[in-house]
Structure 1
Amino acid sequence: MRRHLALVPFLLLLTACSSQGDKATATPTGPAAPATAAPGTPAEPTEPATPTATVTTVAPSPTVSGPQYAFIKEIKPATRELTYDLVEYFAGKAAVKACADDGEKPAENDWCVGYYIRNNNTKLRTVKFAPGAEIKVVDLGELTKAELGRLEGGMLLRFEIEGGAIARAEQVYLP
């Protein structure tokens, strides 16, 4: 019974990664139980395995298509690299439904009414901007064309990947 309970957090981590469509390999730390135990020997390790969640940097699949939403973790204009935390972004009726599904309550600034952000994944990803990528940031309430250097950590970004690189990106205004 102890062995099965020790695996519950590990299975939850795998389920969370799978629900986001990511392929992840999680490895528990600590000694592992033998695959098969000899008759009369205990099957449990002396110390139960304890899973650890790690933040991993992975490159996006070149087959990813459509808009992606993410918080910028780091931007390196010199190498044109973006490290980001992928999220699910909902607007309008979809935000209301997603909030209800997650047990979230409406709050100020249109939270759960106008928009909702779900972040159930701890992986960080890194991707490059394509040469000539179209970049827009919010300036005085309007989306305006900008240079890569105008992007900052913490911004919510909507972007599209083509051929393994970001072709278009725009800041998402959050009230």
Structure 2
Amino acid sequence: MPSRLPRLLAATGLAVTVLTLAAACSQQSAKDKTAASPAATPGSTARFGDGPAPAVTPIATGAAKTPAVLLADGRWPGFIADLGGETVSMDLVEFLTGDAAAKAWKKKNPTSEQDSPDNDYFIVNDNTKLRDLPLASTAEAVVLAAANPGTEKTIAVSGLKKHLGDQLPDTMFWFTVQQGKVTKIEQQFLP
């Protein structure tokens, strides 16, 4: 009889991720709709992804503008809105699975006879804000092979447009941010 421990550990990890994302969804949407939101503390809970909450750098009146930290260090789900030579314009989303996905699905589709989304995931994108993030000089992209989606390959970030073509804006990625720069962009498999 095979051990159920690996499945239990995977399910527990998934549940923790889903709960973190679900809590972040409601908090982030409300925060982005207000003009003056309080700055997040460096140790606050993640709103999306697995890093600390996005930090906001306050700007003093009359002082030179200091760029705000758009995303704290961590891993963040989103779509590529634009890809330049040294920057990526990212549309941050909520990637939900399991019970959190089902709950969000029913909220968005109250008249549907379906109880949960197809394939047990749901992407919530209620915020139109784009985040222009600098790319680290060593940034890399991990994409799925077209012929075999179960196989990943690492390419230069500049090769994303060529690899995905017209599908680039509709492809979800995980963005790894370290010290304010994107160091890795990983394609998310979606059935």
1:174 partner SS: coil
Deviations 1:41-67 (A, max 9, x none): xxxxxxxxxxxxxxxxxx772661332
Equivalence for 2:17: none
1:72 aligns with 2:88: no
Return closer, same or farther for 1:116/1:164 CA change in 2, 3 Å cut-off: same
Q: Structure 2 unaligned segments of length 5 or more: list them.
A: 1-25, 37-66, 162-167
Output the amino acid matched with 1:147: A
Q: TM-score, normalised by structure 1?
A: 0.58
Equivalence for 2:189: 173
Question: In the TM superposition, what is the alpha-carbon distance from 1:158 to its structure 2 partner?
Answer: 0.7
CA distance in 2, matches of 1:138, 1:92: 23
Q: TM-score, normalised by structure 2?
A: 0.54
Match of 1:88 among 80, 90, 94: 94
CA distance in 1, matches of 2:78, 2:172: 6
- Normalized per residue, the structure richer in helix is 2
Query: Matched residue pairs, number?
Result: 124
Return closer, same or farther for 1:18/1:135 CA change in 2, 3 Å cut-off: closer
Q: Is residue 60–residue 126 contact of structure 1 (8 Å, CA) maintained in 2?
A: no
Q: Structure 1 unaligned segments of length 5 or more: list them.
A: 1-15, 27-58
Question: In the TM superposition, what is the alpha-carbon distance from 1:121 to its structure 2 partner?
Answer: 0.6
Equivalence for 2:155: 146
CA distance in 2, matches of 1:168, 1:132: 9
Equivalence for 2:35: 25
Equivalence for 2:132: 126
Return closer, same or farther for 1:131/1:23 CA change in 2, 3 Å cut-off: farther
Identify the structure with bigger relative contact order (alpha carbons < 8 Å, sequence gap 6+). 1
Return closer, same or farther for 1:61/1:115 CA change in 2, 3 Å cut-off: same
Deviations 1:105-163 (A, max 9, x none): 487xx945421010111111111111212420111212221111232431211112111
1:102 aligns with 2:108: yes
Percent identity between the two aligned chains: 28
Return closer, same or farther for 1:120/1:91 CA change in 2, 3 Å cut-off: same
Output the amino acid matched with 1:22: D
Q: Is residue 20–residue 121 contact of structure 1 (8 Å, CA) maintained in 2?
A: no
Q: Decide which structure has the larger Cα Rg and report it.
A: 1
Return closer, same or farther for 1:63/1:74 CA change in 2, 3 Å cut-off: closer
- Normalized per residue, the structure richer in strand is 1
CA distance in 1, matches of 2:28, 2:152: 34
Equivalence for 2:172: 156
Q: Is residue 84–residue 124 contact of structure 1 (8 Å, CA) maintained in 2?
A: yes
